[in-house]
Amino acid sequence: MQESIEAYRHAARLKPNDPEILHNLAMALLTIGEFDEGWRLYEERWKIGQLAHAYRNYPQPLWQGEAAERRVLFIHAEQGFGDTLQFCRYAPLAVKRGLRVVLEAQPALVRLMQSLDGVETVVSPDEKFTAFDFHCPMMSLPHAFKTRLETIPASIPYLKADAKDAALWREQIAALAPAGKRRIGLVWAGNPRRHSPILSLTDGRRSIAPELLQPLFKTGNAVFFSLQKDGQKAPEEL
């Protein structure tokens, strides 16, 4: 990885304003825990491809970590479900700095995000929320908080399923899985996002054909459940 970083630094010296080079350097730095420079350079993502078109040029200022008693901070989702699930954990830290936090999430995640501590309101993109004083893209929060390895929010669980829903699913799963057997949920594909060649390529690295799961089903001490919402039909064993 260090060799890659040096190559990106050399490329950046040759083309200092190339956002793709700086973005790739950011990703490499984050991989080895160089968070200060890595998160700062990750802001270059807004100059690249699909994200360049997705940048929200609000009249209100970008929040950069400052305390602001009772002011409204709008934290908005920017990429995939996984990014929202990972980086929403920063929202309670903003509440501790005196801000009233309104969080935007993809519609399918709104109800789950309502379990975040301290968040005042959770909205979906369709609501076009604008009544705020500051805004911050969700994946800019680590940069705003000047995140170090030891300061990554690690309060777990920071999201909680509805208690009634959890009890219902627990009952249904218990009825399907004999006592003593492991209960294993499987997901084999992400969102293909075919509207973007780059994002679709990313999905190709994380998704597999469900047929490749077949060897797992020969395990005698487990019951498998499909947690896949979209994509190809589940194997009959699920």
Q: Which domains does the chain have, with CATH numbers?
A: 2-53 (no CATH), 56-151 (3.40.50), 163-226 (no CATH)
Q: Say whether 90 sits in a helix, a strand or coil.
A: helix
Has residue 35 got a pLDDT over 70?
yes
Classified as helix, coil or strand, 134 is strand
Q: Binning pLDDT at 50, 70 and 90, where does residue 202 land?
A: confident
Percent of the chain with pLDDT over 90: 73
- pLDDT bin (cut points 50, 70, 90) of residue 237 is low
70-90: pLDDT as tens digits:
999 999 999 889 999 999 999
Using the predicted structure, report yes or no on whether residue 191 has a pLDDT greater than 90. no
Q: Which residues contact 25 (CB under 8 A, 6 or more apart)?
A: 5, 8, 9, 12, 41
* C-alpha dist (Å) from residue 53 to 19, 91, 109, 124, 207: 14, 25, 23, 19, 26
pTM, two decimals, is: 0.87
* Segment 9-35 mean pLDDT: 96
- Pairwise pLDDT comparison (41 vs 233), residue with the higher score: 41
Question: Is 179 a residue whose pLDDT tops 90?
Answer: no
